[in-house]
Each structure stands twice: as C-alpha cells, then as structure tokens.
C-alpha cells in the first residue's frame, strides 16, 4: 500500500509539473499546498469538535478529537488523495445531539463551525497578503529571495484553499456540513425523502465533482479571493 501510494504521488507530481518549471520549485509548491490543506482540514474538524464540546457533547473529547494534533483528524485514504490530487478529506467528528441543550440550534452551530473556521483562515491569509505584499499584482517576484516567494505562495494558497473548502463544505451533499444544515431546514415527507436518498445524492455529488462540473464555482471563488488579496 505504501509503495503504491509513493508511485501515485510521483506520477501525479510529474503530471502536474508544467514544462519549464524546475522540479525543485514544483516540489516546494506541492509541499506548501499539502501543508496548507492539512492545516485547513484539521482545523476544520477541530472547530466541529470544539463547538460540540462547548455545547455539552462529550463525544469529541471521548473519541480523541478535541485536539490540534493532525494525527487525530487525518484519514489514511483522504491523506493519500491530498498528496496525489491536492484534494482529500479528514475523519468526520462524531457528535451526539442528545447531549445538546437545544439540539436543533446547536446542531446547526456545530455544522457551521467547520466552514466558519475556514473562512477565518481565509480572511487572515488575505489580510496577511495585503499587509506583506501590498504591490502583489504589480511586483515582479522573480528576483525575490526564495523565502519571500514561498511565503507569498503559502498565503495565497491558504486564502484560496480555505475559501474553496468553506464553500465546498456548505454544499447540501452528504456527508458535507451543508447536508446537515439542509436536514434542519426540511421536515415531514421532504426530510424523509432526503434521508432515504442520501446515498444517491452523495453519488451524484461525487460524479459532479469528478466530472469537473463544480469547477466553475470553485474557479469563481478563487478569482474573487485573488481580487481581495490584490485590492
């Protein structure tokens, strides 16, 4: 399994490296993107665990998820996907709404906590870019020292990726956070039909994602974030 993962990583890296870009530069950018993604999804899940715990649910603490340690949140397959295709997933945080004082409201707060964390990280990255690189769109960066180029790439990647993650997780596709929000908005037969068809909805969502039909949405988010970074 480890050997297969390494082969997939090398193949994916070579496929995604543009011609003319030094392998060292491409490897550094890949490492920075992976680091940003790992931090983003781990803090996303930690936010779920933290809010659920504050609202009275001991489940995240009992299952070891109330921690910033990435090892508690990373999923082996999801981590491999991060390395191979720069997009993956973490282990979902288990919660028990029966512990909540106000289950309907508190479940919504827990679901929103993850995307909210990503938006906070996005906003922080945008502010850092605007403070450290005020002439971002006008400056020629080729003469910058490597650390400065890497820092700019890291912050831009963090801003874009966290924004995309926030929007992606708000889609009403199980098991994303948006699906939990939609459940709270439905009732009666609509809720029953939605729960009965969750697997089908998940498959349709996966097909849309793999076919690139959601790419225009993510591209629009990326463009808007870059505009905010440069203005």
For the segment 164-189, the average pLDDT, to the nearest whole number, is 92
**pLDDT grade for 11, boundaries at 50, 70 and 90:** very low
What digits encode the pLDDT tens for the residues 64-93? 999 999 999 998 887 777 666 666 788 999
Residue ranges covered by each domain of the chain: 2-171+214-230
Is residue 183 annotated as a catalytic residue, yes or no?
Answer: no
Give 139-173 pLDDT, tens digit per residue: 556 677 888 888 999 999 999 999 999 999 999 99
Give per-residue pLDDT as tens, 88-131. 788 999 999 999 999 999 999 999 999 999 999 999 999 999 99
Catalytic pick among 29, 45, 183, 222? 45
Reported pTM: 0.87
Q: Is the preceding peptide bond at 175 cis, omega within 30 degrees of 0? A: yes
């Amino acid at each position: 399994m480890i050997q297969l993962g390494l082969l997939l990583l090398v193949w994916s890296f070579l496929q995604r490296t543009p011609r003319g870009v030094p392998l060292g530069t491409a490897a550094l950018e890949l490492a920075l993107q992976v680091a940003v993604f790992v931090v983003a999804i781990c803090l996303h899940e930690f936010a779920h665990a933290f809010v659920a715990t504050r609202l009275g649910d001991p489940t995240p603490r009992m299952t070891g998820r109330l921690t910033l340690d990435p090892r508690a949140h990373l999923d082996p397959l999801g981590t491999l996907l991060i390395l191979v295709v720069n997009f993956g997933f973490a282990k979902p945080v288990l919660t028990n709404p029966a512990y909540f004082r106000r289950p309907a409201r508190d479940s919504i707060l827990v679901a929103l906590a993850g995307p909210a964390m990503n938006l906070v990280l996005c906003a922080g990255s945008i502010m850092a870019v605007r403070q450290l690189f005020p002439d971002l769109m006008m400056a020629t960066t080729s003469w910058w020292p490597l650390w400065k180029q890497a820092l700019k790439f890291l912050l831009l990647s963090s801003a874009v990726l966290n924004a995309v993650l926030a929007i992606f997780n708000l889609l009403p596709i199980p098991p994303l956070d948006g699906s939990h929000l939609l459940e709270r908005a439905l009732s009666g037969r609509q809720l029953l039909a939605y729960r009965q068809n969750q697997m089908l909805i998940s498959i349709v969502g996966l097909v849309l994602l793999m076919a690139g039909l959601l790419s225009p949405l993510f591209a629009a988010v990326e463009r808007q974030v870059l505009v905010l970074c440069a203005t």
